[in-house]
């Protein structure tokens, strides 16, 4: 049987002192720190790709928004999960069509946009 973890009183006191001094080391953020929320115009020109992955007994549905001219500029979001894989695929297609500016799916991302150096 393992013995219980014991922390010495001196070390515990030092840890509490360090935790209470964290208040003085933090600083307020600037307004410009949240610009990535406001600079979302690029999302209008994105190809939307649905992702259905199995995780912990359910099928997670996610959408990947990738700029069709700069494919390294992308945003991935988990939308929902479903128990049935057939329904999850169907819901993913509907969500992609709803989220896409181009609902026919003519905007696409090609691998040639990625400058990969395969060794």
Specify the residue for token string 């790709």.
49
Predicted confidence at residue 118, as pLDDT, reads 61
Report the 10 Å Cβ neighbour count for 33.
9
- Say what the pLDDT of residue 113 is: 54
Domain residue ranges in the chain: 41-105
* Total residues belonging to the chain: 119
pLDDT of residue 79: 86
- Cβ contact 67:73 at 8 Å: yes
Walk along the chain (119 residues) and give the pLDDT tens digit of each residue.
678 888 889 998 998 888 888 767 667 777 776 676 666 676 777 778 888 989 888 999 988 887 767 767 777 888 888 888 899 999 888 888 887 776 555 566 655 555 656 65
pLDDT the model gives residue 117:
60
């Amino acid at each position: 049987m393992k013995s219980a973890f014991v922390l010495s009183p001196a070390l515990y006191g030092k840890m509490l002192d360090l935790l209470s001094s964290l208040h003085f080391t933090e600083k307020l953020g600037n307004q410009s720190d949240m610009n990535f929320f406001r600079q979302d115009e690029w999302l209008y020109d994105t190809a939307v790709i649905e992702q259905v992955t199995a995780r912990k007994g359910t099928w997670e549905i996610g959408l990947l928004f990738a700029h069709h001219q700069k494919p390294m500029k992308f945003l991935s979001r988990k939308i929902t999960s479903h128990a049935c894989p057939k329904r999850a695929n169907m819901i993913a297609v509907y969500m992609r069509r709803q989220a896409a500016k181009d609902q026919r799916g003519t905007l696409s991302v090609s691998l040639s946009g990625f400058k990969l150096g395969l060794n």
